[in-house]
Structure 1
Amino acid sequence: MPVKRFSVLDLLALDLKEHDSLDLRCLCGRRGLMRIITIPDLNRPGLALSGFFDSFAYQRVQLFGRGEMAYLNKIVSEGKTETIQQLFSFPLPCCIFTHNLEPPQILMDLAEEVGCPVLQTSLDSSEFSSRLLRILSNIFAPRITIHGVLVEVYGLGILISGDSGVGKSETALELIERGHRLVADDVVEISCVNGNVLIGRGANKVIGHHMEIRGLGIINITQLYGVGSIRESKEVQIVAQLEEWDANKVYDRIGTNELTMDILGVKVPKLEIPVKPGRNVPIILETAAMNERLKSMGYFSAKEFNQNVLKWIETDAARAPYYGDEDSY
């Protein structure tokens, strides 16, 4: 899925709190706020300021810390501003000064002339870099929308999928009643962060924590069960596919056959759960979550059971000839 267009104005408009806050404000170059950020990375333009522009990463956000600021003041005091002019000859997305540093007036004049936004933050360079890279990584992460319900069960994110009417929402509602949490119903947006972590959330924040129950209508989970019954986002760690019971299909009864589902290039453990009257699917999902946690701790119930059975068979096979010879006397 293509990444949405993300501008400098979008960066300024991000509603981020506490440890995610960037504390950004625009100093000049406001007519360039619609410039698009295309690469989720930063560049420290120290070499460019010294006049070396080979392989200059001008497509990235340009970050000015105390070192770059000291060098700027030096070349401005010496009247060597050609490199600053050459810097702004490139279509930079924006320039950001950390530590509440005030850029030289000549830099601000050149930025205003070419329409390059110059931003300022109170954060230090290392902290700002880590926050911005984390935010840009999430924004530029590949994403996909899947029809299903995402719930958190015993700390694990379970994506309940299946055909319409199979009972996904009813299963999730029973899990919420049992103290687990809803992340999203009906349409789940999944993004791949850091190349191997799938984060799921509601595709629409307005209706994300509402559920449609056939015969009952739309219900508000937050108001019915409280804020402790919902989450904004959760890692997808198990896919539970609900399907109508098929008498002709052979279902795994031991659990040694590990199925997976490929989502954005990440393999996620998958369970195929047949649904029919009398089967308590919520309890099955609770057990699946606890079993998956045991697997992450190195304990695989199905494999251990299989090994115990093999040892028992080998033991009986070794005893049979002995008892057979004894019976012959």
Structure 2
Amino acid sequence: MTPPRQPLHATVAAVRIDDAWRGVLIQGPSGAGKSDLALRLMQVGWRLVGDDWVDVFACAGALYAAAPATIAGRMEVRGLGVVSRPFLPSTRIALSLHLTHEPVERMPEAAQDVIDGVAVPRLVLDARPASAPLVVAAAINRAMRAAGRRGDSAL
């Protein structure tokens, strides 16, 4: 039986860590830079899962995301339009990223989102600085290490 899926206004990009793909769920209002950040991540080896809308679902205590079939492999690039990109059909989510244009705390407390009953580490980030992809990579690696210390097989 296929787990129920819920649509979510987000972009998902995934990176290969320890022989498994792990994704970041990039959320924010229109114009916040979701697709732009995903493009910059893809420039350094990440893979697109879905752009603008994804289906999320919980399975065996983990959160997953997949692109709806109608937009799989497509991404909106501001100023260019819709382009085709290589993509992964789905990935396990390791980080929930909230984009903002407001100042971000320098040393925030650890936070998490609960999505479809699954707790996922949360990061609030301004995606405009050139360092944003590096911050995302560091955050997903930290989330994976923390999950390993807890013995959390969900990540």
Please classify the TM superposition score into its range, dividing by the shorter chain length.
Answer: 0.7 to 0.9
Q: Conserved in 1, the CA contact under 8 Å of 2:49 and 2:67?
A: yes
Structure 1 residue 245: Cα displacement: 2.3
Root-mean-square deviation (CA), in Å?
Answer: 1.8
How far apart are residue 216 of structure 1 and its match?
A: 1.0
CA contact (8 A) 1:142 1:264 kept: no
* Cross-structure match for 1:286: 137
> Relative to 1, partners in 2 of residues 1:262 and 1:297: Cα closer, same or farther, differing over 3 Å?
closer
Deviation, structure 1 residue 243: 0.6
Gaps of 5+ in 2: 151-155
SS of the residue 2:113 aligns to = strand
- Distance in 1, matches of 2:149 and 2:91, equals 23
Match for 1:182 among 27, 48, 53?
A: 48
Q: Is the 2:11–2:52 contact (alpha carbons within 8 Å) kept by the matching residues of 1?
A: yes
Structure with more contact order per residue of length (Cα contacts < 8 Å, sep ≥ 6): 2
When you count helix as a share of all residues, which structure comes out higher? 1
Give the superposition deviation at 1:261: 1.0
Larger Rg: 1
1:243 pairs, out of 92, 97, 100, with: 100
The number of residues matched between the two structures is: 146
Q: Does structure 1 residue 211 correspond to structure 2 residue 67? A: no
Q: 1:191 aligns with which of 47, 53, 57?
A: 57
Alpha-carbon separation, structure 2, partners of 1:192 and 1:293: 18
Please tell me the residue identity of whatever aligns with 1:244.
H
2:153: which partner in 1? none
Query: Counterparts of 1:85-164 in structure 2 under 5 Å?
Result: 136=1, 139=2, 141-155=3-17, 156-164=22-30
Give the Cα–Cα distance (whole angstroms) in 2 for the partners of residues 280 and 168 of structure 1: 15
More strand by share: 2
TM-score w.r.t. the length of structure 2 is 0.85
Matches within 5 A, 1:42-61: none
C-alpha separation in 1, matches of 2:144 and 2:117: 23
The one-letter code matched in structure 2 to 1:145 is P
Relative distance call for 1:174 and 1:180 in structure 2 (3 A) is same
CA distance in 1, matches of 2:5, 2:71: 19
- Residue 275 of structure 1 deviates from its aligned partner by 4.0
Q: How does 1:250-265 map to 2 (within 5 A)?
A: 251-255=104-108, 257-265=109-117
Q: 1:192 Cα shift?
A: 1.4
- The share of aligned pairs that are identical, in percent, is 29
Shift of the 245–154 alpha-carbon distance from structure 1 to 2, 3 Å rule, reads: farther
User: Secondary structure, in 3 states, of the residue corresponding to 2:136?
Assistant: helix
Moved over 4 A (4+): none
Could you tell me how far apart the structure 1 residues matched to 2:16 and 2:135 are? 13
Q: Contact 1:149 / 1:168 at 8 angstroms: preserved in 2?
A: yes
The letter of the residue matching 1:202 is A
Q: 1:201 aligns with which of 66, 83, 96?
A: 66
1:202 and 1:275, CA in 2 relative to 1: closer, same or farther beyond 3 A?
closer
Tell me the TM-score normalized by structure 1: 0.42
Q: Is the 8 A contact 2:11 2:35 kept in 1?
A: yes
**CA offset at residue 279 of structure 1?**
4.3
